[in-house]
């Protein structure tokens, strides 16, 4: 349908009338959710006891979200579009609930909330009600991949959903509050990474209500020409739909949306027929409507509609104030519910006929329940990428370099499926994963010069210097049923701490919803880690993301610290096969010893923690001391300390325990991977001193093990926030996790060794002093440390 021809004005008016009815119905259902416990159809005059005791919800953004939904429905039906709806102002939860109930998708997910009067009562009552549904768009809401409670990530999610879905349209409402956040502000630039040939389309809809919680919004208060310049500067061609008169606005929105969809199709057709190679200016919409549109205009003498006062509950004292109660009833009746719902509370046929059908309904679009579409990755045999380990510690390799070769094959094997991507903030090569460029390139829709390398219009690697965008894209990609990995400098993954929180919360909730199907895990490769930031120093040294992750539910969290290349390969394969987790893999990129031949690495990774019998000297009995390690640098130092002890104190029975899967340390009742006390005691003994060298902040090991029998004997060394630009070994000395200190720790904790070790102890301390002098003179580590290799 085109509204601007004038050819069939009756048909057009009919359509506008139907859209308006749909919108009124959604608005009615939204207000009902915020206020009503009962009397959902207003069969009787509204009374105090029909009102919820606690009025919780956000009205302000909701009518606009409903308006967009209704108009998207029109074009979906008219053009048989495959479309999803990402709602940045996710606090407008009533909108998505109202619309999915109206179109029927809600009742399909929740048969206990049918499309009738009883269902409407439940829909109303459950909203923001204890034991009911949250006030925001959330995993519980069909059709959503985006919570929106924390602002900033909608547009990144939308682009992530559109990648490799050439037929998908992702409409994304950006609220004017969200538009002020950093992540959203840079997400506009995602259009430089969207391939019009192989990716779908994102339709940003900047919804300017004018106000946030308590303030005007920045973009609502800059001159129109400045806003237009900004959006064009972002590379979009904006259309504006502005006003408050419903009839006018319906017509304007329908026209704008028609023209926009036509533009999108034209861009895609041109690109897909080879007629265009440069980056297109994608269309977008700016919708300016009053905040709390169609709600109470004036309450208690002050303006509400069109102001920040409409943000949450415009009439706050409905139970106590008869005037407010009357205003609420008038407000609800203003939508003319008797025209919209039949006597049984069902939407009238005109409404249901207005919505799309089946999977075309945005609440039923399978992309928004990505597990439905998920196809397992075709994974090559990772053991084929093993490094040869003739003897433990007899060779070195760069773990992430080997991983890059494996990932390159993963990309090749799934090239046709187009369901795997590698995201990174300009660090893929720095992180030594650059073997992937043998099978793919970096997606880049901007200008490409001769001097550039690996830039292509359509690549599996997506790099932008924004951890927020990387994370947001990957989340959107995973939640729509694909696979991926985010490689990042360890320190800067904290940039997305809060995004991780929200994704972990999403997964936790989703896993409890039977209709949400499992999605691929979110895989982090954290490298260029704290122990090897030689050229960047203190700002780049922070292993605390692991601690942050540990606060989230055990059922969704996994942390791996592979000690060498082969173990990393095995762990990576495991993570790429997993579902519904967040996997954190911490691994170095620099040359480091290969400890395990692949068969042992596979076994070790599967066990998650184990005794390296070949390294220790306990010979079947109980050891005198346990040297434990987790992480590649600590493992190296523990091995070097063990070697010193073997040579200097051959009678000392040492045991080396290496931990790959950090969750193994927890009690079995705390985490699915947790060891039983019997297992733990078998590794760490019940009474021997344990010197534990750990990759990160040491107290995490205590937190994980404080309930264990032998906890009082566990002495942990790790990063204690002493960093700078210095050599690898000097970093370990600064933090007391070097081999010499570890030997001293052993001597101090095995009193049976007695005074005869005093000399050795002093020699170890002297070595630390010697190191300090040497490194400050020559700028390099002591040769015997630099060239050290496991001697056994």
CB 59 within 8 A of CB 314: yes
Q: Does 70 bind a copy of itself (CB under 8 A)?
A: no
Q: Does 303 bind a copy of itself (CB under 8 A)?
A: yes
Q: Does 375 bind a copy of itself (CB under 8 A)?
A: no
Return the half-sphere exposure (C-beta side, CA atoms, 13 A cut-off) of residue 394: 9
Separation CA 613–CA 627 (nearest Å) = 12
Separation CA 277–CA 525 (nearest Å) = 33
- Cβ-based neighbours of 687, under 8 Å, separated by 6 or more: 710, 713
Number of residues that bind a copy of itself (CB under 8 A): 124
Identify the residue among 27, 66, 187, 414 touching a copy of itself (CB under 8 A).
187
Collapsing DSSP states into helix, strand and coil, what is residue 235?
coil
CB 101 within 8 A of CB 113: yes
Q: Candidates 215-223, 250-258, 408-416, 652-660: pick the segment binding a copy of itself (CB under 8 A).
A: 215-223
Taking Cα atoms as reference points, which of 636, 640, 612, 605 lies closest to residue 626? 612
* Residue with smaller CB distance to a copy of itself, 307 or 757: 307
Interface of this chain with a copy of itself, residues 744 to 763, rule: CB under 8 A: none
Dihedral in degrees, nearest 10, Cα atoms 462, 539, 716, 569: 20
Host H or E run for residue 663: none
Interface of this chain with a copy of itself, residues 558 to 617, rule: CB under 8 A: none
Interface of this chain with a copy of itself, residues 282 to 301, rule: CB under 8 A: none
Q: Candidates 40-48, 164-172, 199-207, 421-429: pick the segment binding a copy of itself (CB under 8 A).
A: 421-429
Identify the residue among 540, 671, 688, 732 touching a copy of itself (CB under 8 A).
540
In angstroms, give the least distance from the CB of 485 to a copy of itself.
17
Q: Residue 2: what are its φ and ψ, rounded to 5°?
A: -120, 130
Q: Does 312 bind a copy of itself (CB under 8 A)?
A: yes
Q: Does 501 bind a copy of itself (CB under 8 A)?
A: yes
Q: Candidates 56-64, 351-359, 367-375, 596-604: pick the segment binding a copy of itself (CB under 8 A).
A: 56-64
Q: Does 244 bind a copy of itself (CB under 8 A)?
A: no
| Burial (0-12, 13-18, 19+ Cβ within 10 Å), 388 | exposed
Interface of this chain with a copy of itself, residues 706 to 735, rule: CB under 8 A: 706, 711, 721, 724-727, 730
Q: Candidates 259-267, 541-549, 589-597, 683-691: pick the segment binding a copy of itself (CB under 8 A).
A: 541-549
Q: Does 218 bind a copy of itself (CB under 8 A)?
A: yes
The residue to which tokens 């009124």 are assigned? 24
In angstroms, give the least distance from the CB of 15 to a copy of itself.
35
Site pattern 138..167 for a copy of itself (x: CB under 8 A): x--------xxxxxx---------------
* Residue with smaller CB distance to a copy of itself, 189 or 346: 189
Q: Does 317 bind a copy of itself (CB under 8 A)?
A: no
| Burial (0-12, 13-18, 19+ Cβ within 10 Å), 62 | buried
CB 32 within 8 A of CB 15: no
Q: Does 535 bind a copy of itself (CB under 8 A)?
A: yes
Interface of this chain with a copy of itself, residues 81 to 140, rule: CB under 8 A: 90-91, 128-136, 138
* Residue with smaller CB distance to a copy of itself, 463 or 661: 463
Identify the residue among 465, 606, 682, 789 touching a copy of itself (CB under 8 A).
465
In angstroms, give the least distance from the CB of 716 to a copy of itself.
11
Identify the residue among 392, 544, 588, 674 touching a copy of itself (CB under 8 A).
544
Dihedral in degrees, nearest 10, Cα atoms 189, 192, 193, 198: 130
In angstroms, give the least distance from the CB of 543 to a copy of itself.
9
Which residue blocks in 188-297 are alpha helix, DSSP H? 224-233, 246-272
Taking Cα atoms as reference points, which of 89, 137, 24, 35 lies closest to residue 311? 89
In angstroms, give the least distance from the CB of 786 to a copy of itself.
10
CB 601 within 8 A of CB 567: yes
Strand order in the sheet with 625-630: 609-611, 654-659, 625-630, 690-694, 714-717
Which residue blocks in 654-757 are alpha helix, DSSP H? 677-684, 699-705, 728-734, 739-749
Taking Cα atoms as reference points, which of 467, 409, 418 lies closest to residue 438? 409
Q: Does 548 bind a copy of itself (CB under 8 A)?
A: yes
Interface of this chain with a copy of itself, residues 13 to 32, rule: CB under 8 A: none
Separation CA 31–CA 21 (nearest Å) = 15
Identify the residue among 373, 379, 429, 668 touching a copy of itself (CB under 8 A).
429
Q: Does 338 bind a copy of itself (CB under 8 A)?
A: no
Q: Tokens for 719?
A: 């990063």
- Cβ-based neighbours of 10, under 8 Å, separated by 6 or more: none
The residue to which tokens 């209500």 are assigned? 209
Q: Does 495 bind a copy of itself (CB under 8 A)?
A: yes
Q: Residue 691: what are its φ and ψ, rounded to 5°?
A: -100, 115
C-alpha distances (whole Å) from 653 to each of 649, 658, 757 are 9, 17, 15
Q: Does 438 bind a copy of itself (CB under 8 A)?
A: no
Identify the residue among 442, 589, 604, 664 touching a copy of itself (CB under 8 A).
442
Identify the residue among 367, 468, 664, 673 touching a copy of itself (CB under 8 A).
468
Collapsing DSSP states into helix, strand and coil, what is residue 76?
helix
Interface of this chain with a copy of itself, residues 770 to 789, rule: CB under 8 A: 772, 775-776, 778-780
Identify the residue among 14, 359, 381, 497 touching a copy of itself (CB under 8 A).
497
* Residue with smaller CB distance to a copy of itself, 644 or 716: 716
In angstroms, give the least distance from the CB of 389 to a copy of itself.
28
Q: Does 455 bind a copy of itself (CB under 8 A)?
A: yes
CB 695 within 8 A of CB 719: yes
Identify the residue among 144, 154, 165, 307 touching a copy of itself (CB under 8 A).
307
Write the DSSP symbol of residue 297.
S
* Residue with smaller CB distance to a copy of itself, 149 or 597: 149
Site pattern 381..400 for a copy of itself (x: CB under 8 A): --------------------
């Amino acid at each position: 349908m085109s509204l601007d021809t004038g050819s069939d004005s009756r048909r057009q008016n009919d359509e506008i009338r139907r859209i308006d009815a749909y919108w009124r119905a959604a608005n009615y259902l939204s207000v009902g959710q915020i206020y009503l416990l009962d009397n959902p159809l207003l069969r009787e005059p509204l009374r105090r006891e029909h009102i919820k005791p606690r009025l919780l919800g956000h009205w302000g953004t909701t009518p606009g979200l409903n308006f967009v939904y209704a108009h998207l429905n029109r074009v979906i039906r008219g053009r048989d579009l495959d479309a999803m709806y990402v709602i940045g102002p996710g606090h407008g939860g009533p909108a998505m609930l109202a619309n999915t109930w109206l179109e029927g998708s809600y009742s399909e997910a929740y048969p206990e909330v049918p499309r009738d009067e009883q269902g409407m009562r439940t829909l109303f009552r459950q909203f923001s009600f204890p034991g009911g549904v949250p006030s925001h768009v959330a995993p519980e809401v069909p059709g959503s991949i985006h919570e929106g409670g924390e602002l900033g990530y909608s547009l990144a999610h939308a682009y992530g959903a559109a990648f490799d879905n050439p037929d998908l349209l992702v409409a994304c409402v950006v609220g004017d509050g969200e538009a002020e956040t950093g992540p959203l502000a840079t997400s506009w630039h995602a259009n430089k990474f969207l391939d019009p040939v192989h990716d779908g389309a994102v339709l940003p809809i900047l919804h300017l209500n004018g106000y946030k919680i308590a303030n005007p919004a920045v973009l609502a208060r800059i001159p129109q020409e400045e806003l237009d310049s900004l959006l064009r500067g972002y590379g979009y061609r904006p259309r504006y739909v502005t006003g408050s008169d419903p009839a006018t606005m319906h017509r304007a929105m329908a026209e704008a949306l028609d023209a926009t969809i036509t533009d999108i199709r034209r861009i895609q057709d041109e690109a897909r027929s080879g007629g265009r190679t440069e980056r297109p200016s994608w269309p977008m919409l700016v919708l300016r409507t009053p905040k709390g549109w169609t709600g109470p205009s004036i309450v208690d003498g002050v303006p509400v509609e069109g102001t920040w006062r409409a943000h949450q509950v415009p009439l706050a004292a409905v139970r106590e104030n008869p005037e407010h109660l009357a205003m609420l009833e008038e407000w609800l009746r203003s939508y003319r519910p008797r025209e919209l719902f039949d006597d049984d509370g069902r939407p009238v046929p005109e409404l249901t006929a207005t919505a799309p059908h089946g999977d075309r309904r945005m609440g039923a679009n399978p992309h928004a329940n990505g597990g439905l579409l998920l196809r397992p990755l075709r994974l090559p045999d990772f053991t084929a990428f093993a490094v040869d380990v003739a003897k433990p510690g007899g060779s070195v390799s760069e773990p992430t370099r080997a991983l890059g070769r494996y990932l390159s094959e993963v990309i090749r094997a799934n090239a046709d499926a187009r369901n795997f991507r590698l995201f990174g903030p300009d660090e893929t090569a720095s992180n030594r994963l650059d073997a992937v460029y043998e099978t793919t390139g970096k997606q880049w829709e901007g200008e490409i010069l001769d001097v550039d390398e690996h830039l292509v219009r359509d690549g599996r690697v997506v790099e932008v210097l924004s951890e927020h965008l990387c994370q947001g894209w990957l989340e959107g990609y995973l939640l729509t049923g694909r696979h991926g990995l985010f490689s990042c400098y360890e320190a800067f993954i904290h940039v997305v701490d809060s995004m991780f929180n929200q994704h972990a919360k999403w997964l936790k909730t989703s896993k409890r919803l039977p209709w949400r199907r499992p999605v691929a895990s979110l895989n982090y490769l954290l490298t260029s880690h704290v122990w090897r930031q030689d050229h960047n120093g203190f700002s780049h040294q922070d292993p605390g993301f692991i601690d942050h992750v540990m606060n989230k539910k055990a059922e969704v969290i996994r942390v791996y610290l592979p000690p060498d290349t082969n173990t990393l390969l095995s762990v990576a394969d495991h993570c790429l096969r997993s579902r519904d987790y967040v996997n954190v893999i911490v691994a170095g990129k620099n040359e480091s010893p290969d400890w395990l031949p692949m068969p042992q690495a596979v076994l070790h990774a599967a066990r998650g923690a184990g005794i390296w019998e070949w390294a220790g000297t306990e010979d079947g009995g109980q050891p005198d001391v346990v040297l434990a390690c987790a992480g590649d640098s600590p493992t190296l130092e523990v091995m070097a300390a063990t070697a010193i002890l073997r040579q200097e104190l051959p009678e000392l029975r040492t045991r080396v325990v290496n931990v790959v899967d950090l969750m193994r340390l927890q009690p079995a009742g705390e985490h699915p991977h947790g060891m039983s006390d019997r297992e733990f005691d078998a590794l760490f003994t019940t009474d021997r001193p344990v010197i534990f060298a750990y990759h990160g902040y040491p107290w995490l090991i205590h937190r994980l093990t404080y309930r264990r029998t032998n906890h009082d004997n566990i002495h942990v060394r790790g990063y204690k926030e002493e960093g700078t630009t210095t050599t690898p070994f000097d970093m370990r000395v600064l933090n007391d996790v070097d081999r010499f200190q570890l030997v001293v720790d052993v001597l101090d904790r095995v009193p049976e060794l007695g005074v005869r070790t005093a000399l050795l102890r002093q020699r170890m301390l002297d070595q630390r002093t010697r190191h300090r002098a040497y490194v400050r003179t020559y700028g390099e580590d002591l040769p015997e440390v630099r060239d050290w290799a496991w001697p056994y």
